[in-house]
Amino acid sequence: YGHVLFPEAVHEPALDLAQALLAGVGRGWAERVFFSDDGSTGIEVALKMAFRTAQRRQMHVQQRSAALAPANHAARSVIVVGQADSYHGDTLGAMDSSPRSVFNAGQTPWYTERGVF
C-alpha cells in the first residue's frame, strides 16, 4: 500500500474549473475549492469544513457575549441535519451523518448515529 500526494502539482483543467466555481457560485463566500475522488471523502471534508465554520462562529459569539456578560457563554453542541434513508459513504463521519441502516449498523464498533433525520 502506498500513498503519494503532490500538493503543489496542478492539473490545469481542475484549476480552470476551480477558478470558474469561485468566480461563479462561490463569489462572495468561498475562498477555496476541494475536489475529491469519491463521495465519502467529499462528505468528510464537507463535515470538517462545516464544523470549523460553526466553531469559528461560536467563538465569535462567545467573545461578544463574554464582553457583555462574562458568565453567559456556555458551549453549544453541533447537530448534523441529514436525509432519512440516506447513505453517504463508508468513512466514519459519513456513516455517522446517516441514520442507522444496513449500510452502517454493525459495520464498525465506532458507529454512532448523529444528527436529525
pTM over 0.85: no
The rounded distance, in Å, linking the Cα atoms of 83 and 99 is 8
Residue 64 has pLDDT above 80, yes or no: no
Residue in the block written with cell 463574554: 66
Residue 105 has pLDDT above 90, yes or no: no
3-class secondary structure, 29: coil
Residue 72 has pLDDT above 70, yes or no: no
Residue in the block written with cell 463508508: 90
Pseudo-torsion of CA 12, 18, 24, 27, nearest 10°? -130
Residue 9 has pLDDT above 90, yes or no: no
pLDDT 10s digits, 16-58: 999 999 999 999 999 988 888 888 888 898 888 888 888 888 8
Q: What does the pLDDT read at residue 73?
A: 45
Looking at the DSSP bridge assignments, the partners of residue 81 are: 116
Q: What does the pLDDT read at residue 10?
A: 81
Section 85-91 average pLDDT:
84
Cell of 15: 484549476
Computed over every residue of the chain, the mean pLDDT equals 81
